[in-house]
Structure 1
């Protein structure tokens, strides 16, 4: 396989669990964000391809990196993003970090503990938000809050899809030490319904994700761009709801994803929370701690 089209899943930005360049974003910035998304989507499709060999996947990811660095004819997605980055004056490091995560997806199918998973999320999740912040000209001082939210979103996706990832790709993001603490192994993810020990594992990880969301709750407050702040508020509200559901629902046998009407309600709630907070700060309220607690 040498053509990116052979790896394409057909999935687009409207199929994701969280908003991607929604209409809350400034119109002039939606196209650059979608170029970044298409690059990430193409790399994700490569890493998740059901029949391509690891060698084929790594070779295709190398072509994407070459295109990202400006090599003509290497990768249409890489070249398209390269043009956007040059036009906007944004570093290519965020996209390069993403490629590192997708290479790990090809070569690493197990994570020993939470620390290993967090290191993976540093490359698979945080760069997405950092790119968006750079594109909007936001301060790097809010990166810690961004990283907390992006990591939480990644872990939520991992927990929702834990059975599918195991069955289809033999890939397990649930830390092995968490499974071992309940006396079970990865094969528990292949059952039709989660056992009580597995439910305990998933609930524990959902609680740790909730801690990340506690740290990211101030994120929108530190964003200068009002429209981006509203989008982050919406995403925060959706993530908090999903993390709460994962404490109560079994992703092996129950629906965790939101229905469309639920998304609308949570989006309104999240947006209003941000709008009210911004109005209060304009009246002289104290600025939030955007670095969050690391405890």
Structure 2
């Protein structure tokens, strides 16, 4: 087995918090998006493995980089993405950026401030949306809106998992300057409930996610491909709901997620709104 396969978690696209190449996406575009997802999932599993050493993780990520760059054929998900990029004329930088993010997950366990966290999102989240836009042949003028949405999604995920990330991997994505200003300590993340100080930092971060989502508010409507536009509208709506919920609920005390029926209802409303808007 490859280095990445040895560290696989078994998670798949149906386990993610937001849709991945749903049936809204045109069938012709699903395969390349899923190739990218499988590559990202494999790299994420390497960096998140709780048993492997840092050196083993970095070696696994390097093997994926070499296979994506064409220097090796050792990692099947990277070879598959390389083939997709070659066939579609896509830039492999979107995959290479992800590997930089996962290297940071191994070597950088704290983030100084909001700008530092957004720089992490620049390589961990923004490339995902950029790849999907490139697959659809969309204008790169959409990248700023994409980047805002993707950063919000990433940070929402960090807030949802802040306790687990600290307990399992000693990672803290909450900005250190915000924690210090609030008088909160990182070791409070193991508590069953957030302290008032820690809660204030989570609320601040959720509010900043809402600011990012205001930047991406017009994104779905500006996408030429109507089906992709509906998918983005769904993701935007789910993100708005979760960001608001994280301002009201404690992610240390409960799992702040949507139920299946609730998520389906929000998704249907958002998709229908984008479909009607796209026809007008």
Query: TM above 0.5, one fold?
Result: yes
Q: How far off is 1:276 after superposition?
A: 2.8
Q: Distance in 2 between matches of 1:243 and 1:273?
A: 20
8 Å CA contact 1:156, 1:243 repeated in 2: yes
8 Å CA contact 1:249, 1:255 repeated in 2: no
Q: Distance in 2 between matches of 1:5 and 1:61?
A: 11
Deviations 1:48-92 (Å, cap 9, x if unpaired)?
010111111111111101110123432111111101111111010
Q: Distance in 2 between matches of 1:248 and 1:272?
A: 28
8 Å CA contact 2:234, 2:270 repeated in 1: yes
TM-score by length of 1: 0.93
* Unmatched runs of 5 consecutive residues or more in structure 2: none
Q: Distance in 2 between matches of 1:103 and 1:45?
A: 12
Q: Secondary structure at the match of 1:236?
A: helix
Deviations 1:83-125 (Å, cap 9, x if unpaired)?
1111111010100111110000000000010000000000000
Q: Distance in 2 between matches of 1:199 and 1:276?
A: 39
Equivalent residue, structure 2, for 1:90:
90
Equivalent residue, structure 2, for 1:166:
166
Q: Distance in 2 between matches of 1:279 and 1:20?
A: 25
Equivalent residue, structure 2, for 1:205:
205
Question: Superposition pairs for residues 62-101 of structure 1, below 5 Å?
Answer: 62-101=62-101
8 Å CA contact 2:67, 2:75 repeated in 1: yes
Deviations 1:200-220 (Å, cap 9, x if unpaired)?
110111000000000001001
Q: State whether structure 2 residue 168 is matched by structure 1 residue 178.
A: no
Deviations 1:184-235 (Å, cap 9, x if unpaired)?
1111111111111111110111000000000001001111001000000000
Equivalent residue, structure 1, for 2:260:
260
The count of corresponding residues between Structure 1 and Structure 2 is 280
Question: Superposition pairs for residues 202-281 of structure 1, below 5 Å?
Answer: 202-280=202-280
Q: Distance in 2 between matches of 1:41 and 1:241?
A: 25
TM-score by length of 2: 0.98
Q: How far off is 1:2 after superposition?
A: 5.4
* Unmatched runs of 5 consecutive residues or more in structure 1: 281-295
8 Å CA contact 1:176, 1:185 repeated in 2: no
Q: Distance in 2 between matches of 1:113 and 1:179?
A: 9
Moved over 4 A (4+): none
Q: Secondary structure at the match of 1:171?
A: coil
8 Å CA contact 2:2, 2:75 repeated in 1: no
Q: State whether structure 2 residue 137 is matched by structure 1 residue 154.
A: no
Q: Secondary structure at the match of 2:50?
A: coil
Q: State whether structure 2 residue 116 is matched by structure 1 residue 116.
A: yes
Equivalent residue, structure 1, for 2:54:
54
8 Å CA contact 1:43, 1:102 repeated in 2: yes
Q: Distance in 1 between matches of 2:76 and 2:279?
A: 44
8 Å CA contact 2:4, 2:45 repeated in 1: no
Q: Secondary structure at the match of 2:245?
A: helix
Q: Distance in 1 between matches of 2:167 and 2:212?
A: 28
